[in-house]
Structure 1
Amino acid sequence: MITAAEDGQTTLKLTNASSRIRDYTLAYSSMDIRVGKEFTTVFPRTGFLIFSFITGTDFVSRFVNYDQSVARPNHLYICGLLSQSSLIVRQTGTGGGYAMKIHPVIGYYLLRQPMSALVDRQIRLCNVIADNGSLLDRMESTYHIDSFDHPEMRRFLRRSLPPKAAYQADPIYHAVNEIAEHNGIVDVHRMARRYFMSERTFHRQFLIKVGLPPKAYAKIWQIRYAMELIKKRPDTCLEQISYTAGYYDVAHLARDFKAKVSLPPSRHQGFLNPLSQQYLGASPALL
C-alpha cells in the first residue's frame, strides 16, 4: 500500500491486488482518495488499454486533454491507446477507483471491433462491447459496484473474456509482446517478414488489433524505457541514457519527450505523483 498526502487537504491510498476469473489472473490497482480542492495527475503513455471505474457519490475524474471526457461513479470505462502525449486528469470529491491494464490484442478479441476507433478516447465499455453490452448496462444501473471482486462484475467478466486460444494464435499478439520485451527497439520491417506478412498487411493488422501503426506503438515502449532508465539511473548522463534506449543522440530523445511526454527528459520525474508512479509500475491484468 502507498499512502501519500499532496497537501493538508488531499489524502491518497493506493493498493495493488489480483483476482482469478476462469483461466485469467486479473491484476488491478485500487485508489481511495479524499480531495480538498483538486488533485491533478499526469499519466505517461503506456502500451496497454486501461479498464477503469470509480466509486463514491461525489467523486469526478476529468480528462484535461485528449477528449476531455468525464468518468462518473459506477460505470466501467475503457481508455484506448494514447498517441499524443501524457494524459492529464483532474479529480475532485471523495471516493475511489479501480484500474486494469489490458493487452491491446486481448482488448480487440473482447470488443471485436477495430481498436483504431478507441485511440485517444475514453468511453463507457457497455457502448462498445460486442456481446454482453446490455448486461453491463443493466449491472451498472442496478448494482453498486465497489470492486472488481463484486459478484456481478465477476459474472460479467466470466461471460465476456475471450478464450485464450483465440488471441494466442494471432501473430499480432506475439508481435506486441516482442515489441514490449525489446522496449520498442525493434526493426518493424524484419518483424513483418518473421510473422510471414508483407509490411502493408502487418501495418493494417496492427491498426485493427492494436490501434496504432507498429512503429508508433514501438515508440511508446521506447520512450517508456527511457523514462525507466532516467528513474533507475538518476546520475547517468543523458547521452548514455539515449544510447541505451536506442536513440541516435540526446536531441532525438529530447524531441520525443517534448512531443510525447510534454516535458524535457530532465524534468519528467518531478511531475509524477504516487498515483502515476503506481500506474506505470502496475502489472498488466491480461497477457
Structure 2
Amino acid sequence: MVARAPKPHLRPFVQVLWASDGTAAEGHPASEREYMLPTGAMHLVFCLGRPLRLYDDLHDPTGHTVGHALVGGARSTFYVRDVSRPSRSVGAQFQPGAAELLLGVPASALSGRHTRLEDLWGRVALDYREQLLEARSPEVALDRFESLLTARLAQGRALHPCVAGALELFADTADVRAVVDASGYSHRRFIALFREAVGLTPKVFCRIQRFQRALAWVASAPDASWADLALRAGYADQAHFNRDFREFSGISPGIYRELAPVSRQHVPIPRTSSR
C-alpha cells in the first residue's frame, strides 16, 4: 500500500491518496471480511482487479457486487466488505464539503451508500479506469489519479462560506448551536447547507469526528483505561463513549482492541464470526 498527501492545489479538496498493488492481502490474514468504520468523509475508489463486494450484514452468506469504479458517500455507521483476496486499487478520501466540486453532485445525494462512478460521469469513468490499469506501479497510478482529479475539479467554484466556516469551527468545538449563531443563518438553512455539502448533519458529523478522536487515542495509548480514553476524546462519561462506539462500529471498544486492526478504520472480522 502506498499513501501520500495530494499536491498543494488539491489539498483543500483531498485528504489523502492511496494505491494498493494487490501483492498482499487487504485485511487481516485470519479474516475474509472487515468492518469499515465511518470517517465523516467521502471517498472515490477505482478497483483495478476484482470489483468491490459488500455484505448486508455479518451473516449475509453471499453479499453483492458494487462495481469497479465507485463513490463511497459519507455515512454514520459501518459497512462490511470482502477482503478474502488481494486486489489492486487506487483511491482518495475527500475533504468534507469537496464532493460537489470534484464529482459534480451534492454530498447529500450520495450519503450512506456506494454509487457507481459511471452513474455520475458516464462512460468516461470506465475510460479513466483503463488509464489507471495501464500504470506500471502504484506511484504512477497515483500520479495519473491525481491528474484525473485535477481535471475534474470544478473551476471557479468554492465551498459555501457558511459551510467552510463551520468546518473550521468544528475542528475545535462540537457546539452546533454556537456555530449556527456565528454563521448568521437560520438553524434550518444552516443544516440544509451543511448536509448538502458534507453529506451528514452537523450533529452527526461532530459525533463521528469525536469517535475518530477516540480511535486515534486507542491506537496511541493501548494500555489506557476506557474511562480515560473517553474523557480524552471529549465524551462526558464512559457510558456515552460505549454507546457511540457500538453505534458507529458495530462492536464494543473491548472487542475492537482485541481485534487489533492495523488500520483503525479497517477492522478484521474473524472467519468464525462471518459464518
Q: Which residue of 2 aligns with 1:220?
A: 208
In the TM superposition, residue 233 of structure 1 has moved relative to its aligned partner by 1.9
In the TM superposition, residue 19 of structure 1 has moved relative to its aligned partner by 5.4
Deviations 1:40-67 (A, max 9, x none): 22221102111111223xx34312238x
The answer as to 2:243 corresponding to 1:255 is yes
3-state SS of paired residue (2:157): helix
Counterpart of 1:264, as a letter, is S
Q: Which residue of 2 aligns with 1:24?
A: 10
Q: Which residue of 2 aligns with 1:62?
A: 53
3-state SS of paired residue (1:221): helix
**Per residue, is there more strand in 1 or in 2?**
1
Q: Which residue of 1 aligns with 2:256?
A: 268
Q: Is the 8 A contact 1:139 1:152 kept in 2?
A: no
Residue 50 (structure 1) aligned to one of 32, 36, 43: 43
Counterpart of 2:56, as a letter, is N
The answer as to 2:147 corresponding to 1:159 is no
3-state SS of paired residue (2:97): helix
CA distance in 1, matches of 2:30, 2:253: 29
Residue 195 (structure 1) aligned to one of 183, 191, 200: 183
Q: Paired residues, what number? A: 252
Query: TM-score, normalising length from structure 1?
Result: 0.74
Q: Is the 8 A contact 1:108 1:210 kept in 2?
A: no
Q: Which residue of 2 aligns with 1:170?
A: 161
Q: Which residue of 1 aligns with 2:34?
A: 41
Deviations 1:110-166 (A, max 9, x none): 23333222112111223124xxx4433444468735458458755543321124x63
Residue 210 (structure 1) aligned to one of 185, 195, 198: 198
Cα separation, partners in 2 of 1:202 and 1:30, compared to 1, 3 Å = same
Cα separation, partners in 2 of 1:266 and 1:192, compared to 1, 3 Å = same
Q: Which residue of 1 aligns with 2:99?
A: 107
3-state SS of paired residue (1:98): strand
In the TM superposition, residue 71 of structure 1 has moved relative to its aligned partner by 4.4
Q: Which residue of 2 aligns with 1:283?
A: none
Query: TM-score, normalising length from structure 2?
Result: 0.77
3-state SS of paired residue (1:128): helix
Deviations 1:20-43 (A, max 9, x none): 4x9325641222245599732222
Q: Which moved more, 1:135-144 or 1:236-245?
A: 135-144
Cα separation, partners in 2 of 1:211 and 1:88, compared to 1, 3 Å = same
The answer as to 2:76 corresponding to 1:83 is yes
Counterpart of 1:46, as a letter, is T
3-state SS of paired residue (1:23): helix
3-state SS of paired residue (1:166): coil
